[in-house]
Amino acid sequence: MADESTRIERTSVESFDYMLGQVMPVLDHGFIRVIDYMGDDASIVQAARVSYGKGTKQSKQDAGLIDYLMRNDHTSPFEMCEIKLHIKMPLFVARQWLRHRTASVNEYSARYSVLNDDFYVPDASRICAQSQSNKQASGEALPLDVTKQVIDTIESVSRFAHDKYKKLIDLGLAREVARSIIPLNTYTEMYWKIDLHNLLRFVRLRNSSHAQYEIRVYAEKIQELLKAWVPHVYESFMKHKMCADEKLT
């Protein structure tokens, strides 16, 4: 057993610490920013070995043990690591995001504060027809003349809605009621804290060809964070989970 008087130093990942507070742009006005984290690859190994004592450490290297845990779905050691992110995203992305109910969330409140006039306008590559084979997906690109009309309409409607929203507030209407006319492409912000096991599941589901593009680009950024934060986990995750999923599609 460990000496109870032993001082425990906070885990620090030098290659990841420099990313704290840095803004990673996503979409046209969105971002992801790392606020804090707890644990690293070694924290997972420590948790996995705690019931066996120090004896097993000589027989397996950290990367090998992590690979074994990942391959065999021994998930609880991965819950020893956590990360807290500051995220700015369109409201419709946030509603998809919050389907992952395994995190602690605090979102910007339009009851207390006035929303900024930041709204998502997709670029031309996202102006596609409704898929004929999938009711919740996009299909072929629309003609260029139609694409321009679509983008102009999204911009003008978004601007009009926000102007009317501000007008209602200026008239004295409560913010909690005025916000009801805000469109779903308006940006919101949240603090999102999640353990590594559930973060891996988020990335696996949302950085998938089946996920909507606008949430997939956020998952891609988070996947980059994983590579810097927990490189052994990232390598094993890509080999046994992400690549395995690609073979099934």
For residue range 127-153, list pLDDT tens digits in order.
888 888 877 778 888 899 999 999 999
pLDDT of the residue at 224: 96
CB 91 within 8 A of CB 185: yes
- CA–CA distance, 83 with 192 (Å, rounded to integer): 8
Question: Which tens digits make up the pLDDT trace of 38-75?
Answer: 999 999 998 988 755 554 454 357 889 999 999 999 99
216 is catalytic: no
Asked if 187 contacts 120 with a C-beta cutoff of 8 angstroms, the reply is: yes
Distance between CA 2 and CA 39 in Å, rounded? 19
Q: What's the DSSP call for residue 17?
A: H
Amino acid at 57: K
Out of 10, 99, 206, 216, the active site residue is 206
**Alpha helix segments (H runs only) across 5-90:** 14-17, 41-49, 62-71
**127-141, 186-200, 218-232: range with lowest mean pLDDT:** 127-141
pLDDT attached to residue 15: 87
Ranges of each domain in the chain? 14-112+186-248, 124-181
3 state SS of 33: strand
Angle formed at CA 207 by CA 119 and CA 71, multiple of 5 degrees: 155
pLDDT single digits (tens) 78-120: 999 999 999 999 999 999 999 998 999 999 999 999 999 999 9
pTM of the model: 0.89
Centre a 10 Å sphere on the Cβ of residue 179 and count the other Cβ atoms it contains. 19
Which CATH number does 14-112+186-248 carry? 3.30.1360.170
Exposure of 137 by Cβ count < 10 A (0-12 exposed, 13-18 middle, 19+ buried)? middle
Whole-angstrom distance, CA of residue 114 vs CA of residue 140: 37
